[in-house]
Chains A and B, each alone.
Chain A
Amino acid sequence: MKVSEIVKALDLKVFSGSRGLEAEVSGGYVSDLLSDVMGNAEASQVWVTLQTHKNVMAVASLKDLAAVILVSGHRPDENTAAQSEEEGIPILGTGLSAFQVSGKLYELIGKK
């Protein structure tokens, strides 16, 4: 499944990095601890978090993640969005909580 299909299915806002919308997604990871994501996320996953600072993009890029989904109406900091543009890794947004959006994502892309 592509990032763009997830955007459509879950009605997500695209804040930045739209050139990465056609990337393939292999699964998801949910965490607000950067070392947890560094240690345990896999390439091509979407990362669900409420962290909005620039280091989120450093981690997403180093781990080759497909996209970041900010929950509960959070918006990326300006320099976070700028780096997302540069890396071509989309930052997406939802008003749903991490629990709600993760449940929907799990239904959509399964337990990969």
Chain B
Amino acid sequence: MDQELHYEYNVEGGDFSRAGYASSQIKKILKRLNIDAGVIKRTVVACYEAEVNIVAHAYSGAVYFDIESNRLKIVFRDEGPGIEDIEMAMTEGFSTASEEVREMGFGAGMGLSNMKKNADQLNIESEVGRGTRVEIIINT
């Protein structure tokens, strides 16, 4: 990529009707830039899971999407309850989602492992009572 690009999106906690909006915008941008289809697929899966986590768990958040020379960097930052035990949260099948969210087919404890499988790097920092920052790196 010759030029570096930056985009930002807001994500509202609890607003499931808009969940996936930021991911779909990111997908559109990558398609327009003719990024490799496999890279787009991995980015979309990782981003959707991170975006849904903000909707399902946090009060509000934002997505910072950077297209760099040989990688994509997508940062999901939220104000929310934070994650008490990140290692536990990474365990497939572990979820703290509400019953209501589970009935919609979310909260199966697959989100973080989907992110891990599809990202080249996944960095999670969280402070209980304040919020979480998830950084996804995808090499292009």
Contacts and interface: CB of A to CB of B under 8 A. Distances in A.
Instruction: Count chain B CB atoms within 10 A of each CB in A33, A38, A61 and give the residue with the most.
Output: A38
Interface stretch (B44-52, B73-81, B83-91): B44-52
A38 B48 contact: yes
A49 B105 CA distance: 10
A53 B23 CA distance: 18
Contacts of A51: 104-105
Interface in A15-36: 32-36
- Decide if the interface of chain B is mainly helix, strand, loop or mixed: helix
B20 A35 contact: no
A62 B20 contact: yes
Interface residues on A, range: 10 to 19
B114 interface: yes
Given A53-B104, A55-B19, A79-B17, A62 B48 contact: yes
Given A39-B117, A59-B48, A32 B24 contact: no
A96 interface: no
Contact of A36 (B20, B23, B108, B117): B108
Interface string A39-57: 1000100000101011100
A55 B16 CA distance: 7
B110 interface: yes
Given A59-B48, A62-B27, A33 B20 contact: no
Given A53-B104, A58-B24, 15 more contacts: A33-B110, A34-B106, A35-B110, A38-B49, A39-B114, A39-B117, A49-B105, A51-B104, A54-B16, A55-B20, A58-B20, A58-B48, A61-B20, A62-B24, A62-B48
